[in-house]
Structure 1
């Protein structure tokens, strides 16, 4: 266990080549779950928590960690399972993570190991299970399925984010221009897709949606094979980085390596924090980076792209 606790920060420096490392953990049962190590700041034994008045019991309290006060969420209760009893909290662990510029800690029962794998081994959950769940991907390991939780959906339920774009960013003139354009968005998180789609369509943009990098690549390649100039058809592609089957880095590299679409404007967005992403965005040839999700930030990227085309 101490090996995991000591090495998480070092492992987050792994360079993305359609590869990832998963931190495996469990909640109230033997079922194992995974979280991308890139999202993890550190793992530690749960300290004594400070209770806070709250509307939801999912927020267990606050922890003071390295000079920072961090909210603690009971991940088991957040996905509809039994909460961790207060007298058992100190035997549990905190996974301190950063999502959408927000630092928080997830209370979990056990932390297992760090597993190195490829994104093409991570599969989207079967459509037959429906959309009313917190599952974003699955992965087979030791003849059992590891479930990857859609943390962004959980956070959206706890901390609702507005999708309306302000008039300061997009006035009526901007919206008139936007109605002439078509954008592709790519994200494995259902809540992230819906947030982006609502914001972009509210500007008047037409939106094509892909659920992961593989699906986006197949769509673009099929269009190019049929003679469609995708760089003219789409104003831009806005893609998540961490996705099953094909990550955003690999998707961008393939687009930029294909002469038919190498001029496509690609913006990568992610809930991961830190300067690492900016350097990787440049390495794979993407045209920009966006920390998700903020409706005005998203709209500003689109407006900037439209304005750059008007100047030519």
Structure 2
């Protein structure tokens, strides 16, 4: 009678056979390198599968690096923009400082007689009244400022101190309608009176004889008469002369040499030596230099 299930080799025998074959393959591969070519073929066959299995990881690494690089570039670009703005701002500040330094150098190099002392002042405010040409400066009685003290800029005469507070003072400009200054023609010494017209670009010269030797372009300087302004400082340049024979006197106008509409730094002239041209102001409470000034026609005679 034939059995239903035929019994084959036992598992133990199979294991022993497999181990024996493995040992033979290892021996021949180690001693004789018999499977190098076959191993190369197998490696070539498996390589595409390895690349395919490694593709997701490489894709994620590439995406992560690109996203990080893009963010870093955006951050660096933003920082560069901020740095550029800061550099532009610093450049503008340096340009402003350079301009102020140039103005101060020009101011300190202005013509000055040896016996006169000078003190630098800075404009604090400008009178808003269009009929009153006055400014306020940051020097006062605590710095040795006094009423009637002449004031110039780097180019010429600006005006004189009108009122003095403890830490600030009010300056009346030569173009104010109530101000006048004795001048002379630099070319021939002809004496005139330069009166303010109420316009920052014009001075009036009244009572000039028709036969007076004065021409457009003549430079007018302080004559020293009256004792207010030292002699020889530039005041204005003659801009208009009308010799109308039907009038008793000639009409003569001149343009101030000082930059009346762009005053920033000023020089205060004095016969008394100040503590320092950049002396710190007193910290005491100032008298109000902004009080109203009477617009009297008699002021012109008093100030020259």
With the length of structure 1 as denominator, give the TM-score of the two structures. 0.21
Higher strand share: 1
Q: Indicate the structure (1 or 2) with the bigger Cα radius of gyration.
A: 2
